[in-house]
Amino acid sequence: MSPAALEVRNLSVTIGQARIVRDVSWSVAKGETLGIVGESGSGKSISVLSAAGLGPASARIDGTVALTIDGREQDLLSMPGSQLRRIRGRRLGFVFQDPGTSLNPMLTIGRQLTEGPEVHLGMSRTQSRKRALELLELVGIPDPERRLKSYPHELSGGMRQRIMIAVALACDPEVLIADEATTALDVTTQAQILDAIRDLQNRLGTATVWISHDLAVVGGIADEVVVMYGGEVLERAETVELFRSTQHPYTRGLFESRPHLGERVDQLTSIPGAPPDPRATPPGCVFWERCQVRGDKRCRTDHPELVETSPGHWVRSFYTMSGADPHQDTASTVRPLPWKEHR
Amino acid sequence: MSERARNVGGVTEPDLDGRRSDHEVDDHDIVIKEGPRGWRRTVLEVVRRPVAVASLLILVVVVVMAIFGQWLTPYGINEVNISRRLEGPSAQHWFGTDELGRDILTRVIASASVSVRVSVIAVAIALVVGVSLGLFAGFFGGWLDSVIMRSQDVMFAFPEILLALAIVAILGPGVTTATIAIGIVYIQVFARVTRASALSVRTETYVRASKSLGAGPLRQMFSHVLPNISAPIIVQTSLSLAFAVLSEAGLSFLGLGVQPPEPSWGRMLFDSRAFFQDAWWLSVFPGLAVFVTVLACNLLGDVLRDVLDVRGAATTRGGGVR
């Protein structure tokens, strides 16, 4: 694997008593896509936002966030705010969930596209206008000349999200961070946006971090997937590997709760229960309360470590699934992980 | 609502994949109806309303009187003609004459200059200072918010005229001090309006998005928050102009604003007290001038509030297509 464009090492986020994110590590290389999956409240968004200094002001953030700029590694967490500001937008581009509210309703598309290049790259009005036209073409917006004068409310959701992507890419950043970027769009528009991003990535070599609750979307775009739950990474593997041999009971649960095309079911499978309260995380496995497996009492009392079960495949569980057939009875296929005794 | 919907939502288009939006079906992939946009749309909306047109006309007349008044008046401002003192309205003196035989019409026209100057400058002071304070308070929150808003609360605790009186008492009477005093009095109004709006806008995604793209606090505040809270500020400006005209008249009436012999509506009212029972024109015409100007400002403010209705506009904008 090529060297990481953005690497997060042992990131923890604490707000008061609540430990929102615990010891999260991942990395994404130039031209690759990392998918971060998890349900609401799993800490997936906040871990990434905090890494860029966009988290809540009251949060305490520990760890290292290494961004490689022109071959030199810089820690985002230890740098002063003014320096971080020059990196956001210039080196890191963000796309948020709701394209309806992420664009400033009072400013024209042109103004919002030119702001970044003017501020970060010191472009003149004419240069940045040219850049804006380029960008609109890049993300596949027809008639860019006229679009520059449009206001966000004059565009459809899909168009607005394309504009957001164009804004995020305006300064040719090293890393693009998409936080539920297609969640608010309908499925066909979603597919177009995904295509557009993949295409741009091939052309520009931007590293992408794709945050989503939708395994299907992430499976379609990511090279590597990190599964988060209760503020922890439960499983991390290359996408093909993860889909082929799911190891963690939670990931398995996520796969099973997806509706399948052509299969009539009266009720969708769900994982019963709710994520743990971040103010009082269980001493054992974070998923214990809702886990279908719960092999023995260690699950409740001991906290499992993230263990590499096969090259590049990391799992945080005492019990892992074997085989990838989703129709087999889960309980019977459980085998204990070779587990080193700890604490 | 239908008017606004037609105007704001005048743009319909199918999504890229060919699905149609609710409003319109067309053969082309993208359909844009070019309509007036941005401030031009606002102006058209305003002009469509008779009340607004009437108010604007009145204000234009006042401003013209203020700027060109000295060339429009039939008599000299301080042209005394004792032989024709306290004459009622006539062909020579439309508004009559005062106790020194000065033409009331002339003096009413000439007073517009002072009123407009004082109120515009005072509101400008209040606008700039108040909006900045409110923006900082609302955007940063925390102790800065507390410090700014509590200090404004102190200002708010005084009745406006009393506060203006106190300031004039410190700085000494005169047009300049009256202007400054009125300006200071209205700072808290703008600070309050701005803060309240900024509080709700600063959490919007687009403000966070601008931060994620590297905007510092000042850029976030002035480029992204301010344009989105301009509507209530514009409305407040219009309303405050009305109150500033009143305050100026009030201060001049009390002898703390414009000093004689320079005419002002408030001063004329003050001077007319002694003759109120015999010569009604002395007080009615300057009073009418104040009344009409203030009314025009207020009505215009109301229209602007309707046209710029932040909530209405936001729903139409945000929910346009999706």
Report DSSP letters for B18-48, one per residue.
Answer: SPPPSS---SSS--------HHHHHHHHHHT
CA-based nearest distance A173→chain B, Å:
10
Last residue of a domain, one of A170, A195, A213: A170
For the ranges A155-164, A226-235, B37-46, B105-114, the lowest mean pLDDT is seen at B37-46
Contact call for A156 and B32, based on CB within 8 A: no
Distance CA(A192)–CA(B224), nearest Å, equals: 29
Distance CA(B36)–CA(B13), nearest Å, equals: 17
Q: Count CB pairs under 8 A between chains A and B.
A: 124
Are both B235 and B114 inside the same structural domain? yes
Percent of chain A with pLDDT over 90: 13
Are both B6 and B155 inside the same structural domain? no
Residue from the list A94, A97, A98 with its beta carbon closest to the beta carbon of B212:
A94
Best of A48, A97, A102, A192 to disrupt the B interface by mutation (most B CBs within 10 Å)? Answer: A102
Query: What does the pLDDT read at residue A262?
Result: 67
CA-based nearest distance B238→chain A, Å:
21
A67 sits in which H/E element: strand A60-69
pLDDT tens digit string along B159-211? 878 888 888 888 888 888 889 989 998 999 999 999 999 998 888 888 888 88
Contact call for A106 and B316, based on CB within 8 A: no
Query: What does the pLDDT read at residue A2?
Result: 61
> How far is Cα of residue B147 from the mean position of the Cα atoms in its chain?
27
For the ranges A209-213, A258-262, A306-310, B144-148, the lowest mean pLDDT is seen at A258-262
Rounded to an integer, the average pLDDT of B236-265 is: 86
Query: What does the pLDDT read at residue B194?
Result: 93
Contact call for A156 and B13, based on CB within 8 A: yes
Greater model confidence, A32 or B97:
A32
Query: What does the pLDDT read at residue A227?
Result: 92
User: In which band, very low, low, confident or very high, does the pLDDT at A278 lie, cut at 50, 70 and 90?
Assistant: confident
Are both B68 and B116 inside the same structural domain? yes
Inform me whether the pLDDT recorded for B148 exceeds 80. yes
Domain span holding position A155: 104-170
In the block, tokens 């703390």 appear at B256
Beta bridge partners of A235: A227, A315
Inform me whether the pLDDT recorded for B281 exceeds 50. yes
In the block, tokens 């609360």 appear at B153
Whichever domain contains B215, its CATH number is: 1.10.3720.10
- Whether B43 is covered by a domain: the verdict is no
- Whether A57 is covered by a domain: the verdict is no
Please report residues of B whose CB lies closer than 8 A to that of A103. 206, 209
- Whether B40 is covered by a domain: the verdict is no
Query: What does the pLDDT read at residue A263?
Result: 65
Are both B23 and B122 inside the same structural domain? no
* Residues contacting residue A310 through CB under 8 Å, at least 6 positions apart: A241, A245
CA-based nearest distance A102→chain B, Å:
4
Q: Across chain A, what does the average pLDDT equal?
A: 82
Question: Is B3 strand, coil or helix?
Answer: helix
A208 sits in which H/E element: strand A207-212
Contact call for A105 and B19, based on CB within 8 A: no
Query: What does the pLDDT read at residue A268?
Result: 65
CA-based nearest distance B36→chain A, Å:
11
- Whether B42 is covered by a domain: the verdict is no
- Whether A176 is covered by a domain: the verdict is no
Asked if B7 has any chain A CB less than 8 Å from its own CB, the reply is: no
- Whether A69 is covered by a domain: the verdict is no
User: In which band, very low, low, confident or very high, does the pLDDT at A299 lie, cut at 50, 70 and 90?
Assistant: confident
Q: How many domains does chain B have?
A: 2
Are both B184 and B311 inside the same structural domain? yes
Domain span holding position B2: 1-35
pLDDT tens digit string along A119-143? 888 889 999 999 999 889 888 888 8
Inform me whether the pLDDT recorded for A295 exceeds 80. no
Query: What does the pLDDT read at residue B122?
Result: 94
Contact call for B30 and A189, based on CB within 8 A: no
- Whether cis (ω within 30° of 0) applies to the bond prior to B261 is yes
Show which of residues 159-198 on chain B sit within 8 Å of chain A, judged by CB atoms: none
Are both B31 and B127 inside the same structural domain? no
Percent of chain A with pLDDT over 70: 89
Residue from the list B212, B219, B319 with its beta carbon closest to the beta carbon of A54:
B212
- Whether A291 is covered by a domain: the verdict is yes
Q: How many domains does chain A have?
A: 2
What is the edge-to-edge ordering of all strands in the sheet holding A92-95? Answer: A92-95, A175-179, A207-212, A33-37, A224-229, A232-238, A313-315, A307-310
Contact call for B205 and A149, based on CB within 8 A: no
From residue A107, alpha-carbon distances to A50, A286, B223, B310 in Å are: 28, 45, 9, 15
User: In which band, very low, low, confident or very high, does the pLDDT at A224 lie, cut at 50, 70 and 90?
Assistant: very high
Model pTM greater than 0.90? Answer: no
Distance CA(A247)–CA(A290), nearest Å, equals: 16
Rounded to an integer, the average pLDDT of A222-250 is: 89
- Whether B157 is covered by a domain: the verdict is yes
Query: What does the pLDDT read at residue A318?
Result: 80
- Whether A328 is covered by a domain: the verdict is yes
- Whether B144 is covered by a domain: the verdict is yes
Distance CA(A48)–CA(A43), nearest Å, equals: 9
Asked if B15 has any chain A CB less than 8 Å from its own CB, the reply is: yes
- Whether B272 is covered by a domain: the verdict is yes
Rounded to an integer, the average pLDDT of B208-224 is: 87
pLDDT tens digit string along A140-182? 888 888 888 888 888 888 888 889 888 988 888 889 999 888 8
Are both B127 and B73 inside the same structural domain? yes
Contact call for B206 and A102, based on CB within 8 A: yes
- Whether A314 is covered by a domain: the verdict is yes
Last residue of a domain, one of A154, A170, A186: A170
For the ranges A14-23, B18-27, B80-89, the lowest mean pLDDT is seen at B18-27
Residue in B closest to A94 by C-alpha: B212
Beta bridge partners of B103: B97
Please report residues of A whose CB lies closer than 8 A to that of B15. 156-159, 186, 188-189
- Whether A324 is covered by a domain: the verdict is yes
- Whether A231 is covered by a domain: the verdict is no
The ipTM, to two decimals, is: 0.75
User: In which band, very low, low, confident or very high, does the pLDDT at B29 lie, cut at 50, 70 and 90?
Assistant: very low
Asked if B22 has any chain A CB less than 8 Å from its own CB, the reply is: no
